[in-house]
Amino acid sequence: MGRLHKVRNYPINTTPIDYGLGGATNILGHLFQQATAVQELLRIPEEHEVVPFEDAVTRTLALEGGGKLHKVNGDPGGLTKWGISQRAFPGLDIASLTEETAKLIYRNNYWNKVKADELPDVLASHVFDAAVNMGPNKAARLLQQSINLIATTRGGPGVTVDGGIGPQTISAVAAYKPEELTTIFRHLRASDYVRQAVEGGKGKFMFGWLNRA
C-alpha cells in the first residue's frame, strides 16, 4: 500500500533518549544510523575483503587497543594487553605479553575454534572478531542463527544451534550468498550487544561493541 512515512536522520553524538525513542529495536536502528554516519565521515570501507588470519587479527588487535596495558573499571576481564585478558588466561603474564604470542593465542583459541579458514572470505573476519569479543560459542550460535534466519526466506538448509561449528554448519554456509549471511550475522551481533547493554547495565561499553559489529 502507498503508506506515507518519514525516515528520521540522527546527527552524530545524539542519543536515543534525545529523540524519545523507546525499545531495543528503535535504539538499534538509531545506533546503526550513527555508525553509518561515522563511517561516511571517516571514509571507512566495508570490511568485506579481510580474510587471511594476519589481516583479520590486525584489525582485531587495533579494535582491542593494541599493545597498551590497561584495566577498565567495570570490565570483568581485568588487566588486558593486545585484547588478551587476565581473566581469560589467568596463568599468563599479561604485562610481558608480546604481539607474536597474542597472535598465537588468537589463532589457536578463536580463529581455529570457529573454523574461520573454512568460512567464506566475506564472513571469516566477522565471525572471528565476534569469537574474540563474545566467545567462540556465542559467535558460532550467532552464525547458526543467521543461517536459520536466511533459510526461512531462501528455502535452504538450516542447522542445529549448538555453539559448535562442524560439517553441518560449514555445509549450510556454502548454500547461501556470503554477503547476505554476513549482513544478517552483523545485525544479530549488534542486537545482542544492545540487549547486553540494556539488560546487563553495560551501557558504557555499547558504542565500543557496536563499532565491531
Q: Is the same domain home to 57 and 68?
A: yes
Give the pLDDT of residue 34: 45
**Is 114 in contact with 54 (CB distance < 8 Å)?**
no
Q: Is residue 7 part of a domain?
A: no
For residue 146, the model assigns a pLDDT of 96
Total number of domains constituting the chain: 2
pLDDT of residue 111: 97
Distance of CA 201 to the CA centre of its chain: 19
Answer whether residue 31 is part of any domain. yes
Query: Which pairing describes strands 80-81 and 84-85: parallel, antiparallel, or unpaired?
Result: antiparallel
42-98 tens-digit pLDDT: 333 444 444 689 989 998 998 888 898 877 666 666 788 998 989 889 999 999 999
CATH number for position 185: 1.20.141.10
Identify whether residues 35 and 114 lie together within a single domain: no
Domain that holds residue 198: 45-210
Q: Quick check: is 4 in a domain? A: no
pLDDT of residue 63: 84
pLDDT surpassing 60 at residue 25? no
Indicate if 39 and 57 belong to the same structural domain. Answer: no
- The tens digit of pLDDT for each residue in 100-121 reads 999 999 999 999 999 999 999 8
For residues 142 and 130, is the Cβ–Cβ distance under 8 A? yes
Query: Quick one: 33 and 135 in the same domain?
Result: no
Residue 109 belongs to some domain of the structure? yes
pLDDT (0 to 100) of residue 165: 96
d(CA 211, CA 213): 6
Verify that 37 and 69 share a domain, yes or no.
no
Is residue 1 one of the residues assigned to a domain? no
Residues 125 and 21 in one domain: no
**Same-domain status, 80 and 163:** yes
Query: Are 25 and 96 part of one and the same domain?
Result: no
With respect to residue 3, please indicate whether it lies within any of the assigned structural domains.
Answer: no
Is residue 2 domain-resident?
A: no
What predicted TM-score, i.e. pTM, was given to this entire model? 0.71
Instruction: Assess whether 88 and 176 both reside in one domain.
Output: yes
Does a structural domain hold residue 86?
A: yes
Q: Are residue 148 and residue 161 in the same domain, yes or no?
A: yes
Residue 120 and residue 137 in one domain: yes
Query: What are the DSSP calls for 123-186, one per residue?
Result: HHHHHHHHHHHH-HHHHHHHHHHHHHHHHHHH-------SS---HHHHHHHTTS-HHHHHHHHH
Same domain, 92 and 138: yes
